[in-house]
Amino acid sequence: MFLDIQLDHTIVALASGQGGAIANIRISGKKTFDVIGHFFSNNKIQISQGNEIFFGKIIDNKGALIDECLVSCFKSPKSYTGEDSVEIHCHASPYIIAQIIQLCLANGCVHAQPGEFTMRAFLNGKMDLAQAEAVADIIASDNKAAHAIAMNQLRGGFSQDIVQLREGIMRLAALLELELDFGEEDVEFANRQELSSLLKSSINKISQLIASFKLGNVIKDGIPIAIIGEPNVGKSTLLNVFLGEERAIVSEIAGTTRDTIEDTVVWDGYKIRFIDTAGLRKTEDVIEKMGIDRALDSIKKAQIILHIFDKKEGFAEMHSMLLTHSEADSLILKVHNKSDLIEQLEVQPDIHISAKNKTGIEALKARIIDHIKSQIKPFNTLVVNSRHIQELSSTKQALEKALDCLEHEDTHDFIAAELRFALHHLGSLTGQIQTDDLLDIIFRDFCIGK
């Protein structure tokens, strides 16, 4: 439990992952230099002003040489945690790592808890809460777009939005509170028109941040694209072309794919999750029916739906089914496959391809990427954290109530109370307002050493 965290402890943990040639052991806290002085041969580290690297030997209490290594030295407040801190870059042998950590523990360190280095950075004012949360997202990011979102948050992009909102509301809330101090006297320090337009613009801004959540998460986890159509139209062939491998079985027998098949690719920095599905048709086969149910489910979840068809018959019926089952904001592309067999078709598709001959694929890929980019463009900041969405929704609710009170000319104490609520929720986003429980929830999912 984080409630046990004691800042006067000096902590140690392995910060690097499994494998590799070099490991990184981190120490942070008041006794850092005392601890390392017990087993690191280069005493110059003791008089360092920080931001220096020292070469030396790690020698245990019986005089045995454990390793030769580099130690980076950081002096408070100029370190990740804000405390005195060192990073020992030793050889990545599990034996050496265990020995060095044991030496640290024997000489005054305690094991760091998950996320404790970052939590200390937050508690010591090196970053706000939203930035600290972004550290976990940076570590987890596996594609350019997810990395960009986390990096923006780490560099304070999201926090800036919140601080701006908070400052505007705080100024007017202060004036309203002043009116409350004057009690019975009928004074108005806060201009009602200004208050109303500030409330409206803040609600707008927050709505935009909330709206970005779905897209933000989709980008983080992979943008779902469902490949849908009747049996035998070439859906699995197209999946294989997109993935560049024979992932799904392809055959001329209608009903080859029974289950949904998912796999990801990274295109232009975006992680895309393709979902190949069972061909949709009326069937009495129990297994095939289950596959069709899964296909219908993927239509709901997909950001983009590729409606694959190879003939005119049944097209309109299938397309209207897709329109009813899909989310309003998802894109349905009409993709005519097997264009090597039929050139002309009465149905007007968005694109002609031949999955078998790999023609039209680049154009289809370009359409998909253009759509993704156009979806992201309106958002400066994408919110990806569900805690942030909860706080933003509560803020919005309070501001809407405040606006309602204002429009009904309720007394100013009602408005002031709602603004206080809103400020409370905005404050807990960046950590100006915090509770131990909140910190506990945020940091417990971190890895040890971060």
Ligand X SMILES: Nc1nc2c(ncn2[C@@H]2O[C@H](COP(=O)(O)OP(=O)(O)OP(=O)(O)O)[C@@H](O)[C@H]2O)c(=O)[nH]1
Specify the amino acid at residue 424: H
In contact, 81 and 120? CB cutoff 8 Å = yes
- Residue ranges of E strands in 246-292: 261-267, 270-276
List Cβ neighbours of 205 (8 Å cut-off, separation of 6 or more).
Answer: 161, 165
In contact, 81 and 124? CB cutoff 8 Å = yes
354 binds, among ligand X, Mg ion, none (CB under 5 to 8 A by kind): ligand X
Residue number, 235 or 273, with CB nearest to Mg ion: 235
356 binds, among Mg ion, ligand X, none (CB under 5 to 8 A by kind): ligand X
How far from chain centre, in Å, is Cα 34?
39
Q: What is the total residue count of the chain?
A: 450
Least separation in angstroms between residue 287's CB and ligand X is 13
Least separation in angstroms between residue 248's CB and Mg ion is 6
Instruction: Report the candidate in 61, 63, 84, 67 with the shortest Cα–Cα distance to residue 22.
Output: 67
Least separation in angstroms between residue 253's CB and Mg ion is 10
Residue number, 336 or 396, with CB nearest to ligand X: 336
Residue number, 212 or 236, with CB nearest to Mg ion: 236
Separation CA 36–CA 34 (nearest Å) = 6
449 binds, among Mg ion, ligand X, none (CB under 5 to 8 A by kind): none
- Encoding tokens for residue 374? 């156009």
DSSP annotation of 354 reads B
Residue number, 309 or 443, with CB nearest to ligand X: 309
Separation CA 92–CA 249 (nearest Å) = 43
Residue number, 154 or 239, with CB nearest to ligand X: 239
Residue number, 335 or 429, with CB nearest to ligand X: 335
SS3 label, residue 127: coil
Least separation in angstroms between residue 330's CB and ligand X is 20
Residue number, 361 or 448, with CB nearest to ligand X: 361
139 binds, among Mg ion, ligand X, none (CB under 5 to 8 A by kind): none
Separation CA 137–CA 9 (nearest Å) = 27
In contact, 372 and 339? CB cutoff 8 Å = no
Least separation in angstroms between residue 233's CB and ligand X is 4
Q: Dihedral (C-alpha) 364, 369, 372, 374: value to the nearest 10 degrees?
A: -100
User: Which residues in this chain contact Mg ion in the complex, by CB under 5 A?
Assistant: 235-236, 256-257
- Encoding tokens for residue 60? 């245990």
Residue number, 153 or 339, with CB nearest to ligand X: 339
Least separation in angstroms between residue 327's CB and ligand X is 23
Residue number, 223 or 227, with CB nearest to Mg ion: 227
List Cβ neighbours of 308 (8 Å cut-off, separation of 6 or more).
Answer: 227, 228, 229, 233, 234, 235, 238, 335, 337
Separation CA 6–CA 113 (nearest Å) = 11
342 binds, among Mg ion, ligand X, none (CB under 5 to 8 A by kind): none
233 binds, among ligand X, Mg ion, none (CB under 5 to 8 A by kind): ligand X
Which residue's beta carbon is nearest to the bound ligand X? 279
Least separation in angstroms between residue 140's CB and ligand X is 33
Least separation in angstroms between residue 349's CB and Mg ion is 20
User: Which residues in this chain contact ligand X in the complex, by CB under 6 A?
Assistant: 229, 231-237, 250-252, 254-257, 278-279, 337-338, 340-341, 354-356
381 binds, among ligand X, Mg ion, none (CB under 5 to 8 A by kind): none
Parallel/antiparallel/unpaired status of strands 52-59 and 65-74: antiparallel
Least separation in angstroms between residue 275's CB and Mg ion is 12
251 binds, among ligand X, Mg ion, none (CB under 5 to 8 A by kind): ligand X
291 binds, among Mg ion, ligand X, none (CB under 5 to 8 A by kind): none
